[in-house]
Structure 1
Amino acid sequence: MGRLVLFFLLALLWAAECAVISNKDPLESCQDFGLAFERVFALPGEASVLECPLSIDYLFDPKETSFNVSWYNVKTGSEITAVEHSVILKENSLWFFNVSKQHQGKYRCVVRTSSKCFKQVTMLIVSEMTSETCERPQRSIQNIKARVNDLLACPLRRYLKTVDRPVIQWYKNCELIQEDEKFSINREFLYIRKVHEDDAGFYTCKMSFSLAGVAGEMAETIECEVQDEYLKKPQVIQPVNEIIRMEEGSSFSKDCVVVMLGKGIPLIEVLWKVLVEEEEEFVTQNMSHRIHQKPRNESVTADGFVFVRTLSVSHVSEDDFYLNFTCLVSSSRGHLTGQFMLIPTDPDLLLFAGLLLGLLALFFTSAVFLCSVFKVELVLWVRTAFPFLYKTTDGDGKQYDAYIAYPRVLEGSSEKAEVFAMSTLPQILEGRYGYKLFILGRDGLPGEAVVDVVQEALSRCRRLLLLYTASSLCSPEAQEWAEQQTGLHRALVDHSMSIVLLELEEIRDPLCLPLAIRLLKDKQGVLQAWKRRRRWGWAIQDRRSEERTSSLQPSERFWKEVRFHMPVRGKAKDRNWFSF
């Protein structure tokens, strides 16, 4: 008896579990992609297509995996299985014929494989057309260009291979379009000749068809916008009435370059022809002929189009001379020509002229290059080798070759400039090259006023060498230093004497320099003691010397530039033939 009761209870539990399983939603295990963003719009009485929004190629490889597609009405939850009078299942799509308000709603597409299941919902919206221009609730936008021939493409052309016996008609606003001088129809394309601004508007493409024996029609509207961009008349860039000298027996090619500005669909032809015995003949396109034209090359630029057609002569003969070779350009915007003529040339004369011009160009280029690169060395060599070409400085009323000036403002800020002025400059310029320098603090008399010393000493010097560093001149006190010394300020501002700027450190902020020095630096430049210059074979030597030199021991190149700007000690007494 107890066993019988236990068996009865187990049977009740099994029946209850089967009832739960039978009531479970079979789509619950499918991967859900939610509601698709795009909506499908339709008008009552027309046909409409719902395409499965799932990207099957993204989910799996349909070529290697078998699958099936089923549709469900989300509102009722029932599967659409049978072919109804107004609904047809075609591959992955659900076709509605004679759409009504009852068809509006959400539909779920389910894709199943042997191991997986996917689902996504799409929506069908049925609405009336209330626009006076027959504008439908769903439309696409297409642009055509003014002043040229252009076309519109029917959005329904993607269904042409799916349906049977499709027939397409075009409407502008609400009027049927008939083929005439303005419009021509080629199935899914509407061609519009010489587009005008008035051609903008709403165009409707309507397709009548049959599917599985059921007839239907569907339509979509295009909002057409006209862009006023057009092609201008082409221009022949080359040849332009050219005469070309050519040696007999040589090969030759000539490009016909045509430019067409604007945007649109260019209708243009570029061909070569030649006038032989007063008869025009088009040049053959057969590459095996001695004279032939190559296929046209077309490229698109930001401003328009460039067309190039090449005329090729593999072996120039005597008969080719004095013929008019003409490039003929034919387009919807006009016709143009460009010509050239071949004439024989003397090969010896041409070779001699080419060699002569080449030698002259080489000599001129070399001279300019040597003068620009070795200007300082050349000038210093001429001064040393030919001192009689330069006027002597004796009797000019000057006692010193250069006045050495450097800011002495804050303690420590001018230490490098002072060491350079007191030690390095005298060692090189006076000890090695014999120049006479006036250095304030060394050559002035004790007890003299600084302002008087500066003004009086400058009047006896031929040059002013101004030394400065980043720390000695880039301070508020240093900004006033030059202005406080009357003679130095006059020389800087009035340019009363030749001034040479010596920069001992790299100035990273040029605005910190006094205005007068900045203007002078921009005008004539500055000699930079801190900079290392490398030239070809001396690069290794410069790199080695760079480790043991500093701005207090500049390179040999720097001293050459200083000597270049120093007064010339010539021997001529009456005249100076050259000036550098």
Structure 2
Amino acid sequence: MASFICSLLFLVLVGGASLAANQSSDLTESMCYDWGEAGEAAVSVLEGEAGWLSCPLFSHPSVYNYTSTQSAGHNLFWYRRPEGHDLEQPIAHSSRLSKDKERLWLQPAQCDDSGQYICMLRNKSSCSKIAMQLSVLRRDNVLRGSACEPPAAVAPKDVQIYLQGVETLECPDLRDAVKMSDGPPSVTWYHVNRAQSRCRRYPFWNSDWQQEGTSLRFHNMLVPYQGLYFCYVQFQRGGKSLNFTRIINVTAVYSSSLPKEPSILRPASDELISVRTGSEVRLVCRALFPVILESPWMEIRWTVDGKMLDKLPDHQRFSQTSSEVLYDFGDRTVENVLLVQPFSSRDLDREFNCSVRNQRGFESRRAQLEEEGSLPSVELGCGLGVTLVLMLLLFVVYHVFWLELLLLYRSWFGSDEGHTDDKEYDVYISYARNSEEENFVLSTLRTVLENELGYSVCIFDRDSLPGGTITDETLGFVARSRRLLVVISPGYASRGSQALLELKAGLDGMALGGHLRVILVQYRPLRHRVWVRELRQARMALALVRWRGDESRELTSHFWKRLRVELPVRSGGKEGGANKTLLRLLSQNSTSSQTGLISNTHKNPDQVLNCAA
């Protein structure tokens, strides 16, 4: 607006001189100076509401004053150029469009009123005109934040109020309505808090805020009172009932009783900033500016050796940018970044100061710089190489010997389950009752588990007493065992067999009490579809160890290591001896110490027992 006024003054002077030089003898003919369109004077009115246009020629009294121009014989005329037309049309006085001094009243506005309006000030010797735009908005086209908000065409007016402070809100443009109305207007206030999705209409006040006449008085401003305030104005003019709506956006800010001096947050007073010469360096100054409604002016900047950046001989290397990083109830955290490119060794001796200022105070702080030491590339490369090689070796060792490492860990740190429960057996073996599986269980599994590894093994056909009930004794054996070892084969767990009873008892004990774990030993390969339903359902939660014939006969084979991982930990005894043998085999990288132990078992089980004894 200031630039427009200056331009207007200049053109008036120039226009007056030009008019004096070119004025003809016929004073009835005059030149009219067109100042174009005043974009800042554009007006928006809601359809059906009252509105008015103020001639921009009178926006500054030092240029044009309505009373003085009338005394000098000037008259004000209004013209209109409707949307889509090129010709100006004079506006005739009517009950809906009326002129009052420098204003043109719309009482009320209609959608057809949209277009360009020209106000012309002229007498017999001079003429000046300026245009402005009018937009009449339909109610259903006005954007609203919520359905309860009244429609309004004018942008909200921003108002900030101190927390716990006292403030009075006046409805915008109410004074103009008072001047033009035939009687005192009435104002209805609405409060909309979009954050809480709440709309309230008078009377909703309390002792903290209430309406006094046409104004809204805050006796104690609180955070919930923030939001949009709509004032609905009704008044009488020329026998008509007119109205318009205005919006005030109220935000709360920190109390005026709090300190208002600015403070520097970064760099800290004891902070050392590492910089690298020859590269781009960014120095950050961050400051807090408390809100001051009376004077919001503030300043944050860098100086080098006490000089502004543009005063430095090498100012091309320096630049600074400011941005707001946080807004908290009016308090603003602002950051100013000084960019030095490239940073030279001479800059280490310079004084970089961050300064902040507002109406209440001033603070300055120097940035403490230190040169960043370069890392020795050769030593760093060697260290990274050795680290990668060691990691690769550890990965290979773990991938190859993970079972052996796990067994050694169990032998050193594992706790014997026999000390924490009242189980009688370590392992209960369930298998199909046929010659092949039975021979494998009695001659191989039982012999190694009992004689070599020191486990107590329960086999129903061997340990049950004659004359007992099969179902009760089976359930009892399974309940008194820590592991259920199931030997899977094509004929296992047929319907109605004892093996199926043992499997169900083990799965129930594992699922319900958690005191029993089930281990699957696949003696012979079989297709998954021939498994019984109970095995298919529990397969994903069970450990499966595969017997691979002659390949699995050695005690140091993958089969026995994998099986021992699933079996209970045995402290001392023969499992401790087996762990010592395993440790010796790992150190000697040999697997021949136990050769033939299992292969001879099928030939003469008694001989194996005697040797073990």
TM-score w.r.t. the length of structure 2 is 0.36
TM-score by length of 1: 0.38
